[in-house]
Structure 1
Amino acid sequence: MLSRSFIWSALSSSWYAIKDALKFSFPVTIALCVARLVEAALPALQVFIVGYLIAGRPSGNMSIWEVLLLVVVTGGIMPLSAMVDALNLRLQFMLRYAYTYEVIDIYASLTPAQRRDSVTIDEVQAAHDSIPFNLSWQASSALNIIGAFTTAVLLFSSLANFDLLAASLVTVSLLPQLFGYSLVAKAENFYWPKQAATSRRAEYLENQLRYARSGTELSVLNGAEQFAHWAKVKHGIVRGYWMKIMSIRFTSAFVSGFIALLLIAGALSSLIWRSQVPTSLLAAAILGVVSAMLATKSAGSAYGELMASAPIVMRYLKLRAKLDSTDNEDEAARLQLLAPRTSNILMECEDVDFAYSQTDENVLNNLCLEVEQGKIVALVGANGAGKSTAIKVLTGQLKPQTGQIYSRLGKHEVAIMPQDIEKFELTVREFLTLPYYTTRVPSDQELWQALEKVDLASHVKALSDGLDAQLGEQWDGTDLSGGQWQRLALARTLLSDAKLLVLDEPTSSVDAESESKLFKMLKAETPERAVLLVSHRAWTLQYADHIYLLENGTLAQSGTFKDLKNQDGRFRKLFESQDWNQDERR
């Protein structure tokens, strides 16, 4: 038996699916509703009209209009059924792309915190995987079931005039198929979450083989065959889930079809021998039953698809609602941030503690620091000291457990260059303008100025298509060195009108001479805005106006480069093996 909550989810998901169908494809949905309604009424009309036109009449005693009516009523079910099938496919096609665009927008709107949440990522992946066979089919499945129910009611009414038992048996013949497909629905709901998680892993493994950079590394490591083996194992597990579902589907279809056949045979037997219906009316009844079977041929599968998809659609609706509420909460939290108490301070944290989970130790402990307008502020420390975490907390990517963040900056007033930049294989122009499509796309002149600042303009000009040159070997484009990619990412950050630039190891792959030029350029930028910098090279810190040294998530020292260099403290020990005056010697 189906639980009340399961039935409620089926009704709710159907309602929302039909609303989405009207929203995304109004004309096709209305056309399908009309065609399905006519198809549902046609079997009952056949019983009534054919019986009326044939009963007690000689074969030649019909007008041309009656003949035409007979042709339309008896032969119309085939083209009408084909039209309904075509409209079903068209609606599913339209909804498939509508939901695909919606899920793409969901991926684009995820916050950094949500992207680190495996539960949220699995939910979005499950939604993506459910588009072809669940989300896009739910509306047409619901309309098919409504049409089948209407067919059954109207046909019962028309056959009941001849034989109540036969009418009841014909109507009941639909139930075994519905019950069989409900078993399939339960099986799909059981295996679907497992399939989604396994499919996501298989897709990841496949992508590493498919992409040029990772595929090349795997070939060099002689690891490609192992990745292929792992991918095939995961696909084999997914195949196993679907084989189990197909086995249940085959068994239920065979058993339910056999039971329906017995019920139809009983109905015809009752019409022939119990009620002794005249041959002309019996022909009309048989025609109506056959047409009804054709009109409701997909009712069982539609019911199974609807019941299987109902929990998936409801999870998708909950995901949409959850992400919408999270976006609103994040925006509200940002708007509620208090401004720093000193007017020249852009951003400040006070007594901040942070841990990645309740069971983990704190990564940050009682952290206090501030970023002043027109200054370069540096965060330093050994690996694992908490520098990158501190940046993410300061910029709102992570929420602290305790403490207070003060900021007078809006969402678009902070530009971030992460430590590990993603080498998006776009054109140079697309790479540089990527963050600015929702605000103001920089002009070509501004692009070249930014490239000049990072000493990359001459290299881009030498490319055959300049700003429109394709990057990345995967698309037969130009590959860049690690330092060139880093300078390109820095140019993209400089294009921003942000009041604060957050740069996490912006020159780690750049040679010393280029690094010196870049830091002099950043120093020239600071009268207009502030820079929050993470760096591991001691000599570059001389450009910083203030330095904070973190140790195990705690502020160990702070001050100017000169003061910290001359103090016998943790800062001096951390960098004593490095050349303090490399820039001066060059």
Structure 2
Amino acid sequence: MLDVLAGLPEAAQSARWGLSEAARRTPVALALAVLSALVLALTPAAQVQAVAWLIRDAETFSTAAVPLVLLILLVGTGQVLATVDMFTRQRAGIRLQRTLQDSLVHSLARMSPEDMADSSVSADVQVGRDSLQDLGRLPWSVISSLASLVTFVALFVSVWFIAPRAAIVIVLSLLPSVVLFSWAQTRQTKAFGAVGGHLRRTTYLIEQLAQQRSGTEIATFGSGGRLARQITQSQRRADQLLDRLLAQLIHGFLGGGVVGAALLGIALSMIVFSGAGGAGIAAGVLGVLAGIEATRGAGFAIGEVLSATPRVKIFRRVTSSADRPVDAAIVGRVESLEARNVSVRYPGAKAPSLESATIAVRRGEAIALVGANGAGKTTLVRALLGIVATAGGEVLLDGRLASDLALSARLAHFGLMTQEFGRYELSIRDAVTLGTPDGVEVTEEDIWRALAVARMDKFVRNLDEGLDTQIGEQFGGIGLSGGQWQRIALARIAVRGAGVWILDEPTSAVDAEAERDIFQELLQSRRDRITIVVSHRAWTLRGMDRIYVIDNARIVQCGTYEDLVTREGRFRELFSDQ
């Protein structure tokens, strides 16, 4: 009860937001829902008056005809309108859910890499995705809650004229049901967070067994039983949480039901012994029963509004980025890129992840960043891009401080391919053009040139549907090897055409022959751009203009391959066996 009352102020804000969104996105459906809810809310009270009228004037057909017809109309209208209202709300909820999803995905499309890499933002996005259906129902839950209030008031007035004290007790008898349903909804919402986590893990594990690629690998290992046991354990944890929740609800509703039934019995007794006569007694009893039926879902509706409040806050926080401007103009010519004494210290880290790093590269040059895992290579790349805060130093693009640019404008200078490249199961055309932002026109010729850079063009030309071939087996497309997926990712960078290419292990998954061809193409075409490669393979470094060796967050060596391999130092230690 206290939880319900404490959440009312914020619930009111959520209710206002839900109604305003429905008014903006589905105004006709909202108007129809309000009208039908008002009619349905007043129907029980009208039925009470019609019954009282009918019994009082039932002596002859002529006097009973009008109240009888009115009662039939009220009963029939209530049944028909309730059904129509249910389907109307479902349709409107689906439409509202779709428009809210549009807002969410457009907000995600405008987020910066820094935001997307933030774990708290990622958690908010997941909640926003999971809440779309609930938020689509929110306005209609608000309307149901308000309609129940109208029903309470109308019934109270109707029964008051029959038995005033009974009217008060009737309202009190209905309150336990409303409060219990609201309490149950909030309890379920809290529990379903943990339950949902176990169920998502169960779903994930089942998919690993069922999907072709992972399922085949697991079958060759003969380890399906291990996953099956994990699936059973995860499902059992979810079931245990649900079982405890349902036990609490059973006990709560037993207690509330006893209280409500006792109050209802008192109210009915008051009506019977009120001296209101047969008409009054019949109408009063009908009022009680009709009120119970009309307000059966009121508690759930109020509970849904209360439980939606934190989700509304998170959804609005995520979609607040929708107005963030995006600069779609790719900068295809960059003359120089410099990092001067750049340092990075991540929050909570005892030591810097990058310290006083200085590099310089001009258009037409290809440089490499090498070092052991965790040495600071990725941090330097992130600092160049501007997606990590620097503790010192500066990055310059064509002699201008990169920090003076908006992040979107800064990123427009770069094409980045990471080791964790995306495997987008789309058509080849769509998977490649994802390298360019909205508003940039990409011709078929551009796509073929990009595929040629990645040495993927011959493979695609031999496919029956060419660029329109669906890739990835999840949606019935062709299966690709790890190397082919990597070449598609490289083609995305090529079609982007930015002035600076940063390639983190761009050929780690391809065969040696394809790797030589790709690097040969990269080095031959480097005159038109700045190329930065992160690599652990010695022979790929031979054609680089300079190699920067990073160790323990510092650049400790710089030179050509021939120079570094003949000198004592960290580079020679790393690559002496290759």
TM-score range, shorter chain: 0.7 to 0.9
> Equivalent residues in 2 for 1:61-460 (5 A)?
61-62=62-63, 67-105=68-106, 108=109, 111-132=112-133, 134-273=134-273, 275-321=274-320, 346-407=336-397, 410-436=410-436, 438-460=438-460
Whole-angstrom distance in 1 between the partners of 2:366 and 2:301:
63
Structure 1 residues 346 and 147, CA gap change in structure 2 (3 angstroms): farther
Distance 1:240-1:356 versus aligned 2 partners, 3 A rule: farther
Rate the CA distance shift 1:206–1:74 in 2: closer, same or farther, 3 A: closer
Q: Is the 8 A contact 2:138 2:305 kept in 1?
A: yes
Contact 2:53 2:67 in 1 (8 A): no
Counterpart residue number, 1:19: 20
Looking at structure 1, the residues matched to 508 and 75 of structure 2 have their Cα atoms a distance apart, in angstroms, of 79
Q: Percent identity?
A: 29
Q: 1:136 to 1:228 in 2, by over 3 A?
A: farther
TM-superposed CA distance for 1:399, in Å, is: 2.5
CA deviations 1:538-579 (Å, max 9, x no partner) are: 33334323321111220111234454455444334433444x
Q: Is the 8 A contact 1:451 1:457 kept in 2?
A: yes
Matched, 1:35 2:25: no
Q: Deviations over 1:44-89 (max 9, x none)?
A: 2233344345524523123866553332134432223333333343
What is the CA–CA distance in structure 2 between the aligned matches of 1:18 and 1:465, rounded to whole Å?
A: 47
In 2, the alpha carbon distance for the partners of 1:376 and 1:111 equals 27
Q: 1:474 to 1:153 in 2, by over 3 A?
A: closer
Structure 1: how far apart are the matches of 2:243 and 2:104?
A: 28
Offset at residue 37 of structure 1 (A): 0.6
Q: Is the 8 A contact 1:129 1:196 kept in 2?
A: no
1:283 CA displacement: 2.7
* Equivalent residues of 1:156, 1:171 under 8 A apart: yes
Aligned letter for 2:83? A
CA contact (8 A) 1:53 1:66 kept: yes
Alpha-carbon distance, 1:381 to partner = 2.0
TM-score, normalised to structure 2's length?
Answer: 0.87
Q: Which consecutive unaligned segments of at least 5 residues does structure 2 have?
A: 403-408
Cα 1:170–1:80 change in 2 (3 A) is farther
SS in 1 for 2:170: helix
Structure 1 range deviating more: 358-367 or 492-501: 358-367
SS of corresponding position for 1:471: coil
Q: Which stretch shows the higher mean deviation, 471-480 or 101-110?
A: 101-110
Is the contact made by 1:173 and 1:260 (CA closer than 8 Å) also made in structure 2?
Answer: yes
Contact 1:427 1:471 in 2 (8 A): yes
Task: Please state how far the C-alpha of 1:143 moved relative to its aligned partner.
Answer: 1.4
How many Å apart are 1:470 and its aligned residue?
Answer: 2.8
Partner Cα distance (1:573, 1:290) in 2: 86
Matched AA of 2:338: E
Partner Cα distance (2:569, 2:232) in 1: 55
Matched residue SS, 2:522: helix
Equivalent position amino acid for 1:482 in 2 = G
AA in 2 matched with 1:143: I
Change (3 A) 1:157 1:481: closer
Number of equivalences:
565
The worse-fitting range, judged by mean Cα deviation, of 470-479 and 224-233 is 470-479
Cα distance change of structure 1 residues 187 and 282 upon mapping to structure 2, 3 Å threshold: same
Distance 2:197 2:390 in 1: 30
Q: Matches of 1:222 and 1:119 in 2, distance apart?
A: 38
Residues 477-510 of structure 1: per-residue CA shift (max 9 Å, x gap): 4333433333332222111131111111112334
Distance 1:480 1:272 in 2: 79
